[in-house]
Amino acid sequence: MEIRHGEISEIENFQLFSADNQGDDVVVAEIDGTIVGYMQINEGASDATIFFMESTMKGVGGALIDWLKGRCSYIVADNAVESAGGQTERIES
């Protein structure tokens, strides 16, 4: 699995994508050239906030978070989705 910075145009076909999702940066996970997941984030020098994440395969979300943990010492997952309980979670790496 390759994880890299991406563009909005690469994720527009995902089921839950919305132009209203927050996050200035897009990070995608791909396997054999096919994007299987993404997250929308705001990334600082040593911190990041995850605003939205979607994947089509089990394990992709964890891989995206692990990638971010390798870059940041402080991560916040700001989950406003009602089904997820509208929680904000702090992830320390």
* CA pair distance 28, 54, nearest whole angstrom: 10
- Tokens matching residue 75: 């991560």
Least confident of 8-22, 29-43, 75-89: 75-89
The reported pLDDT for the residue numbered 90 is 53
The reported pLDDT for the residue numbered 46 is 87
CB neighbour list of residue 70: distance below 8 Å, 6 or more residues apart: 93
Mean pLDDT within 14-23: 87
**87: pLDDT strictly greater than 60:** no
pTM of the model: 0.81
Residue in 17, 62, 10, 58 with CA at minimum distance from that of residue 34: 10
Which pLDDT band, with edges at 50, 70 and 90, does 40 fall under?
A: very high
